[in-house]
Structure formats: structure tokens, C-alpha cells
Amino acid sequence: MIIYTAASVRDLSIDAEQLTGLTFTGHALWYADRGREQAVCLDPRTGETGAVLACPGLDAGLTTLGGCLLYATESSLRLAEPHSGDILREVPTPRPGVPIGGMEAGRDGIWLGWPDSLDLRHASDLRVLATVPAPLGVSGTTVTDRYLAYTDRLGEAITVLDLGTGRNVLQIQVDGRPATSLTWDGLRLWYGDSGNMRLRALDVPGLSTRAD
């Protein structure tokens, strides 16, 4: 596995009490604030704040599923309409009593991070499709076409796993710790610098393409 140190190419300051999730909707970033139980929309180019969505009971995670926002409470997963905040679907957490540390919906299903692993689960019934060991736990995760990236609970690095081989191929040492919450915008990897309340973007060789 290659060890790589990455410097941020873009920083966005945020106003949050406890950053617990991050997602990209195709044109905007959304971050989850557990302290205020809300999700906030942010323009990734200007940093301008847009919509604020109340998410009662929000505990961890944030991802985009079918144009809606999915987040975790202590006991369930909730799918919310991003304009009205209406709860469209709510299902029990698949591991009751075990805290979710991150989530990402992709073409193959929904990745859920736990204190000991990452699970890929079917979007319709949450049955397990694959499991990746994560001995240090998970505090954020995202996927690209080919890779799964996640931060552990120490928040010191981002690990990148090749989905084709199942092997960890890259560990990215980052500035700003703890690093929590991850998302991929198609070009760059974004992570939450929870210590300084910033969202930071990385260009990673082989993973992203430099663009303005």
C-alpha cells in the first residue's frame, strides 16, 4: 500500500457544531450537523450556504439516494426529500445498538461504516452484499467508479481500497484532524476537517483529475 501526503486544493469554512456527514448531489455539497440536527447545502465553488434542512434525530452519515438525502438516527435510516424535509422512508438500522460511522449510496448499493467494518448493502432491503474489515472503525466513506475510500475513527488518514481486488492500495495523510466525513464530486475527494470546521478538497493521483 502506498502512503501519500495530500495538501488541500480548496477549503470551505462551515458553521457547524458537530460535523457527521458529507455528500455531493451532482451540483452541490451537503454536510450533516449532528449538534443542530440539520443538513446544510453549500456551493462547492463559492462556499455560499444554500438550503438548510431540519433532520430531527440526526446521529451520523449523509448520502444521496435517488435525489433524496439519507441519514442515520440512533435506531433507523431516514430518507428525506431535500426541499420539504418530508420523510419518504424510514427503516430500522440493520445492526441495532451499533453506531453507524458513515454512509455512501452508489450504483452497487449502500455502504455503511461501523466500528469494525464497512458493509455494502442492497438499497431495497439492506441485506449484506459484501463486507470490508475496518479494525480502526469508520467515520466517513465514499465511492468512485473503482475505489472505496474511508476514514478511520482516529481521523488521521484516508484509506483507499480497490473494489476490483479488495486490497487497500493507498493511504492519504491529510492536514486538519480529525478527518471525518467523505464525498467524491467526480473530480476531487472532499473530507471534513472537524477540528477546524472546514470542508477540504484533494486532488489524488489516479483517483481524481485536476480542474477548476
For 86-112, the pLDDT digits (tens) are: 999 999 999 999 999 999 999 999 999
As for how many domains the chain has, the answer is 1
Helix (H) or strand (E) holding 96: none
| CA torsion through residues 12, 13, 16, 20, sign | positive
Helix (H) or strand (E) holding 9: none
pTM score, two decimals?
Answer: 0.93
Residue 91 lies in a domain: yes
Residue 50 lies in a domain: yes
Residue 182 lies in a domain: yes
Residue 108 lies in a domain: yes
Residue 211 lies in a domain: no
The boundaries of the domain holding residue 193 are 2-202
β pairing state of 60-65 and 49-54: unpaired
Q: CA distances (Å), 125 to each of 65, 92, 105, 121, in order?
A: 14, 11, 14, 8
Q: What is the pLDDT of residue 210?
A: 43
Least confident of 42-46, 68-72, 101-105, 151-155: 151-155
CA dihedral 126, 135, 172, 168 (to 10 degrees): -70
Residue 63 lies in a domain: yes
